[in-house]
Amino acid sequence: MYHHSLKHKLSIFIGLGMSLTAYAQGDNHYWTEFNADPTNSAILDYSYAGYKRGEKVPPTIAELKAQKYKEYKVTDYGLIPDDDKSDRQAFINLINTIGNKKTKAKAIIYFPEGRYILHDDDDNIVKAGVKQSETILINMGYLVIRGDGKDKTFLEMKTPNLPKSEKVMYSSPIMLQIKHNGKGVNTLQVYGQITADSKKGSHSITISDASQVKPGQWVWLRVQNYSDDVIDEELQNCTIENTMTDLKNNGVQVDEYHVVESVNGNVVTFKEPIMHGIKERWGWVLQEYPHYEEVGIEDLTFVGHACNDFVHHRTWKDDGAYKPLSLMRLTDSWVRRVGFQSVSEALTFETCANTSAYEIEFSGNRGHSAVRAANSTRAFIGNVYDHSDGYYVEQDYKTRYDGLGQYHACGVSKHSIGCVIWNCDWGLDACFESHATQPRATLIDVCTGGFMPRRMGGDRNQLPNHLDDLVIWNFNSKPTQTKAFGTYNWWNSGNVWVKVMPPMVVGFHGHLINFATNQMKCNESYGTAVNPKSLYLAQLERRLGKKNEWMQQITTGIESPQIFRPAEGLDKGIYTLKGEKLDMDIDQLPQGFYIIDGKKVRIN
């Protein structure tokens, strides 16, 4: 009932070693320039994105148990799978048993195989005579919620969460949110004012008083400046328009979350590079960053019942009725090997840092959005496969297609910075998300999917869609456009909905698009992919000085087995990762990872 039938597809994966794409000879000169001297490169260093800055994989359940985590099996606490009754209250009772508002809960919540209903109509409450839905809130760190596999454990929203107002189409609450409650901005401890300029890409800042700043501490580097001169400076050669009221009223806002490497006098050095240049006169500050750490969701599927005929902004039922998961004010946290079936908005990392979402699959009815980083720093969203079904917008929603994907694919919004969207495969009728309110410095790396115009998202009053340092590297475009739309504009003075500051586009190939190149920093190697195939992996391996081992370990299922590779001269047929030879053709294989002709590949 909950396993959406999959179309088999061979996709690029680990090391991007198995690919039919033709690549230009030699390394791309932008990479050569970066490799020689990252401090004088046209591209920033995006390699610090993800859990633990991309340096290691999140811990396994066995490793957590060795660290004295306690596992709570939900069926021992009143949750009953497959009985068609809500398990919400029993789940809330379990959360209270563990103890909410724990910085280090060291807890594993284990959902054995089966279907668990976490919201139905009986869970709605009545306030002032009006039915309302409420979010299940978890306030704790060092917590993992796990299942038996995304094809075995299902957490279901049986009915929609009711909106606060039907006219506000995004106002339905999220089903499950794990968050630190934070503090009011005016109550946060300010460690010091920034007293000197710092170059974009550098690691150090100078503040007025560093006595309260310690190595290993998470801190919040921020600025908000309302000056017209600063706004003009931020937009560079782009002109602010009357419709951009958010930028006019709230000014330039930059938020970066960092870990302190060292303190020398009043010079604070971060483990990660600064992704926005600092000018002392803008009024930057360094302050505390309330958060939880080490939260994980893995090996299960969230099930909703999104409309089977999704239309963008038609009703609240289309836009926001089924929003299963949100993570807020978390660092070094992850969502992996997770499915989303028939959901409106799947997953948002909000005000987080160094989070990872990978091995994610979308199926069922298409909805509003996929996986996004909102106001987050250095999020890594990788290996997302979106084959949800629905009606093609460009055909006026008249014909239903398989694999159109969520309306907005993976991406960023708000003050996100330094985020990486890596090796994702989304539908024909989509584009990466860049949902306005000042995101910056995003890498869209070796992704495949639709590149629909006017699909990045964002209300016109919150534009631009994206500010400086958008890099699109080796994008493989699917044939998406069924109506002629002419030139693909990035900053269209004749359209209030299209506002992207000049991007760097390198190695764009597949279905070619007529870009307005005068609105771009570059359109390098147009029509041909470049080397290195993945900028993120190349930068990470350069920084670590070795091959990226944790990326090699990503796999579906619960285990991370040793990869079997046939020896030279042996039969190079189809094998499991454990070395079991399969007497099957490729089109007969179920979804998963295999060794085919000596290479690890994914079958979808």
Interval 116-139 mean pLDDT: 95
The pLDDT, as a whole number, for residue 10 is 32
Q: What is the phi/psi pair of residue 246, to 5°?
A: -65, -45
Please name which of 202, 207, 331 lies closest in space to residue 274, comparing C-alpha atoms: 202
The pLDDT, as a whole number, for residue 572 is 62
CB 205 within 8 A of CB 267: yes
Three-state secondary-structure class, residue 461: helix
CA distance 527 to 221: 39
Please name which of 319, 334, 336 lies closest in space to residue 406, comparing C-alpha atoms: 319
CA quadruple 355, 360, 365, 370: dihedral sign: positive
% of the chain with per-residue pLDDT over 90: 76
Q: What is the DSSP string of 90-126?
A: HHHHHHHHH-SSBTT--EEEE--SEEEEEE-GGG-EE
Residue 494 has pLDDT above 90, yes or no: no
Pinpoint the alpha helices (H) of 285-392.
316-319
Q: Which domains does the chain have, with CATH numbers?
A: 14-41+48-130+155-181+293-535 (2.160.20), 199-285 (no CATH)
CB 298 within 8 A of CB 150: no
Interval 480-508 mean pLDDT: 87
Residue 484 has pLDDT above 50, yes or no: yes
Residue 559 has pLDDT above 80, yes or no: no
The whole-model pTM stands at 0.90
Which of the residue ranges 76-80, 155-159, 510-514 would you say has the lowest mean pLDDT? 510-514
Q: How far is CA 249 from the centre of its chain?
A: 28
Residue 17 has pLDDT above 90, yes or no: no
Residues 6+ apart with CB under 8 A from 436: 246, 413, 456, 457, 458, 459, 462, 463, 464, 465, 466, 499
CA distance 356 to 362: 17
Burial, 419: exposed, middle or buried (Cβ in 10 Å; 0-12, 13-18, 19+)? buried
CA distance 13 to 126: 49
**What DSSP character marks residue 246?**
H
Which of the residue ranges 7-21, 59-73, 367-381, 407-421 would you say has the lowest mean pLDDT? 7-21
The CA dihedral of 406, 253, 489, 382, to the nearest 10 degrees, is -40
432's tokens: 């990466």
Q: Which residues pair with 268 in a beta bridge?
A: 205, 263
Residue 418 has pLDDT above 70, yes or no: yes
CA distance 75 to 243: 53
Residue 56 has pLDDT above 90, yes or no: yes
The pLDDT, as a whole number, for residue 562 is 39
The pLDDT, as a whole number, for residue 14 is 36
Q: What is the phi/psi pair of residue 7, to 5°?
A: -90, 135
Residue 458 has pLDDT above 70, yes or no: yes
HSE, CB side, 13 Å, CA atoms: give it for residue 11. 25
Q: Which residues pair with 422 in a beta bridge?
A: 382, 445
Amino acid at 364: G
**Better-scored residue on pLDDT, 469 or 551:** 469
CA distance 563 to 578: 6
The pLDDT, as a whole number, for residue 169 is 77
Which of the residue ranges 36-50, 207-221, 469-483, 572-586 would you say has the lowest mean pLDDT? 572-586
For the segment 364-408, what is each residue's pLDDT rounded down to a tens digit? 999 999 999 999 999 999 999 999 999 988 778 888 999 999 999
Question: Mean pLDDT: which of 184-188, 197-201, 546-550 is highest?
Answer: 197-201
The pLDDT, as a whole number, for residue 565 is 42
Residue 39 has pLDDT above 60, yes or no: yes
For the segment 497-550, what is each residue's pLDDT rounded down to a tens digit? 889 999 999 999 999 999 999 999 999 999 999 999 999 999 999 999 988 766
Q: Which residues pair with 362 in a beta bridge?
A: 340, 386
Q: How far is CA 308 from the centre of its chain?
A: 25
Residue 104 has pLDDT above 50, yes or no: yes
The pLDDT, as a whole number, for residue 578 is 59
Which of the residue ranges 100-104, 143-147, 237-241, 477-481 would you say has the lowest mean pLDDT? 477-481
CA distance 359 to 58: 13
CA distance 255 to 206: 17
CA distance 275 to 442: 10
Please name which of 409, 474, 413 lies closest in space to residue 438, comparing C-alpha atoms: 413
**Better-scored residue on pLDDT, 325 or 582:** 325
Q: Which residues pair with 320 in a beta bridge?
A: none
Please name which of 280, 279, 274 lies closest in space to residue 260, comparing C-alpha atoms: 274
CA quadruple 492, 378, 376, 276: dihedral sign: negative
Q: What is the DSSP string of 464-532?
A: -SB-S-EEEES-EE----SS---SB-SB-TT-TT-BBPPPEEES-EES---B-GGGSSEEETTTSEEES
Interval 588-595 mean pLDDT: 70
% of the chain with per-residue pLDDT over 70: 90
For the segment 328-364, what is each residue's pLDDT rounded down to a tens digit? 999 999 999 999 999 999 999 999 999 999 999 999 9
The pLDDT, as a whole number, for residue 566 is 45
